[in-house]
Amino acid sequence: MARYVVRRMLQAIPVLLAILVATFFLIHTAPGDPVTILAGDGGDQAYYDAARARFGLDRPLPEQLAIYLANAVRGDFGYSFVHRRPVFDVIADRVPATLLLMLTALAFSTAAGIALGALAARRSGEPADHAIVVCTVAASATPAFWLGQVLVIVFAAGLGWFPVQGMTTARGSPAGPGAVLDVIHHLALPALTLGSLQLALVTRLVRSGLREALREDYVRTARAKGLTARAVVARHGLPNTLLPVITVVGGHFGTLLTGAVLTEIIFAWPGLGRLLYDATLSRDYPLLMAMFIVASVSVVTANLLTDLTYGMLDPRVRLA
């Protein structure tokens, strides 16, 4: 197992390196110059030259890449042009919020998806089944940013059940258990928005998996022995359908990250989403590079974790 993990990680290195180099050229050849943007409404040629020299942007591109890679090997990914701090410090500050949002959304879509999928499977072919399929697919077909805004207008601005923005109350944040409740209160709408993206996916997998399982002989036997439909689903059907759910949900990590970017912008959630957007607009090269690395590494890691979980849950899959 450990050998498998190490081998997978080694395999990922050339992939990540290729992404790094490609991204480097992509970002550095783009129109728009970080130095002129930093100078903004002012500045002159002397300022531009000084800033270019300061950031090492006055050297030929291949040389810049070589310097970047040499520093990266030593763990130095540079300073953000805008934040003036090491890029990974800037990113690390934002990771917890994004992770909290993504994991909550994941938990929501998995739990709700299993419940709805199981219900649909038991009511196979009935109106409830069709309604669940259409509604969940419709939820994931609705652009998350639009859904988020509508949720804000209805449940936050209109009914006042939830706060409009942020992760905590800005005015006199509560401490202790109150702080946790405060975060949960703020988390509800964004997590619902983001979770709705994958709801249809999970529901569909659980539904079709269960329908198949319910026709298996052992399930029929269990039913014949007098177990209720609910008990049969819970004991025999669900464990088998969880495997594809894990695979597919894990494989959609990138989609979830994407959704998080937009959700965070709508709800003013202090995560990576806005950081990416701002870094792009300000041509903050080092920060953009680092965000690409983080996003790629997290997708690779999510894939690896997915496969590992899969292997642990299904002994037939041997990791070698």
Partner 1 sequence: MRAFIGQLALALIVATACAPPSVGAGTSAVASGGGPRRGGSMVIAASADPGHFNPAITTAGGTHFVADSLYNGLIFLDEKLEPKPDLADRWDISADGRTYTFHLHPGVKWHDGQPFSSADVKFSFEEVLLKYHARTKAGLEAVLAGIDAPDPDTVIFRFKQAYGPLLQRLDVVEAPIVAKHIYTGLDPTKADANLKPVGTGPFKLAEYVKGDRVRFERNDAYFKPGRPYLDELVFRIIPQSNTQVLALERGEIDYVSGIPGPDLERLQKNGGYTIAKSGAGSGGSFCITTLIYNLSRPPLDRVEVRQGLAYAIDRQQILDQVYFGQGRVATSAIASTITWAHNANVAKYPLDAGRANQLLDAAGTKRAADGTRFKLEFVHATSFAKIGELMRQQLAAVGIDLQLTALEVNAANDRTFIKKDFDIGAASYCNGPDPEIGVRRVYVSNNIGPILFSNGAGYRNPRVDQLFDTAAASVDRGERAKAYYEIQDIVARDIPDWGLVETEGYRGWAKRFHDLSYWSGDLAEAAWQEP
Partner 2 sequence: MKAHRARAILPAGLGVGGILVLVVVLAAVAGPRLAPADPFGVSALPFQAPGGSHPFGTDDLGRDTLGGVLHGARVSLLVGVAAAAVAALVGTAVGASAGFYGGWTDDVLMRLTELVQVTPRFFLAVVVAALFGPSIAWLTLLLALTFWPATARLVRAQVLSLRHRDYVVAARAVGVREASILRRHVLPGALGVIVVSAALQVGSAILVEARLSFLGLGDRSVISWGYMLNDAQPFLRSAWWMSVFPGAALALTVLGTNLLADGMYDAWDPAARGERR
By CB under 8 A, name the binding residues for partner 2: 12, 14-16, 18-19, 26-27, 30-32, 124-125, 129-130, 133-134, 137-138, 140-146, 149-150, 153, 157, 200, 204, 208, 211, 215, 243-244, 247-248, 251-252, 254, 257-258, 261-262, 265, 276-277, 280-281, 283, 288, 291-292, 295-296, 299-300, 303
Report the residue number, 52 or 123, with the smaller CB distance to partner 1. 52
Report the residue number, 184 or 313, with the smaller CB distance to partner 1. 184
Q: How many CA atoms lie within 13 A of 106 on its CB side?
A: 20
The contact set with partner 1 (CB under 8 A) reads 30-33, 36-48, 50, 54, 79-80, 82-85, 90, 93-94, 97, 149, 152-153, 156-157, 160, 163-172, 265-268, 270-271, 274-275, 277-278, 281-283
Containing 277, the helix (H) or strand (E) segment is: helix 272-281
Which residue's structure tokens are 């077909």?
141
Report the residue number, 87 or 300, with the smaller CB distance to partner 2. 300
CB atoms within 10 A of CB 279: 26
Q: What is the Cα–Cα distance from 222 to 243, expressed in whole angstroms?
A: 22
Q: Which of 260, 134, 258 is nearest to 194 (CA)?
A: 260
Q: What is the Cα–Cα distance from 309 to 243, expressed in whole angstroms?
A: 9
Nearest-approach distance from CB 208 to partner 1, in angstroms: 39
Q: What is the Cα–Cα distance from 258 to 174, expressed in whole angstroms?
A: 31
Report the residue number, 183 or 271, with the smaller CB distance to partner 2. 271
